[in-house]
Structure 1
């Protein structure tokens, strides 16, 4: 699953972009999903309300008290604080030539020359645009199996035929930690993911050594995590 680090820089949320803000993501998303938290707002608010100290602190910030909207605003504010951009690649961009290994520098050059950067760009190296899954080949036919609702991508949001199989381009920040890959979780490793993307998005077969160099570059995109401590 994609990381929650650096989500503040995304153009929208979920693979199909159905939530346009972090507040909507929290309000409408994982909490009610039977495959994730499998609960509802009544249950969540009841649990939070039993903690009287938390309830008092919360009400100082949100006078209207615990509601789905105020809790979503609070969680969204926390998510915006999860910025982890100071990785080796960022330090290299600022002039530290020693921040990247020669292999990572070679991987970055390959990342650009193969064309990956056309979609994975910007401060988050992705997350700021949509793209069709299978520009240069029929990914879904080759994958096999039934076409699911999730496979329809952005079409589920807009109803436009041109958005069928269109998905938000994921950020590559922290990608080395977030297997499996793609909206269907079909790629178990980064090597597999790079090979599939090259074949279906770029119409190219990338040699194994080049894929390894590109993945080495991906490791340089992982930023430093903020220290998370429970509030007192």
Structure 2
């Protein structure tokens, strides 16, 4: 197994936001974190990345404990994070954003040249400041993760705040990346989209895992789907 959380507990001040969260992601699969806003999905990603401290429990990567390591150390190990707010550098060019990410990553199939072949709109803007539209920012954020050639990408709300047409374009980008065998832990508010992109899923509510299984198994549990996902 590539990534594993074992009974992870995390807090915001005195608020117990993750409560004994356990999950697994195997190489080559896409796993969705499902649940309503405030369920703990994004916090799970931030805890994996060391942005939120895990008070108890373990995070393991390739069988080795990485609990509370720094984001930079985790990037070097092969974990990429695409945060909900994207955090691109607008005063740098598109190309500079990508080259900066590549410096912190590893050599591999995803080169800057290949990124421009894959994301044509970024190639058209490679020498221009990264002051982009929302959809283009999201594509740059995903491309920046890919160019680091990670073993897994934590993808947090990639369609958040985008117009429906642009959201569909980003969805197709994620679908294409998945088809190439990239491993993804996906947080996405739209349960239908998330499940269409994923092999398995975990359902979170109030910081707890309340359901898990293959996408077919989750869909078959109509009571859980209605109670926790309202679909």
Normalised TM-score (structure 1) = 0.26
Instruction: Specify which structure has the higher proportion of helix.
Output: 1
Structure with max Cα Rg: 1
Instruction: Specify which structure has the higher proportion of strand.
Output: 2
Normalised TM-score (structure 2) = 0.26
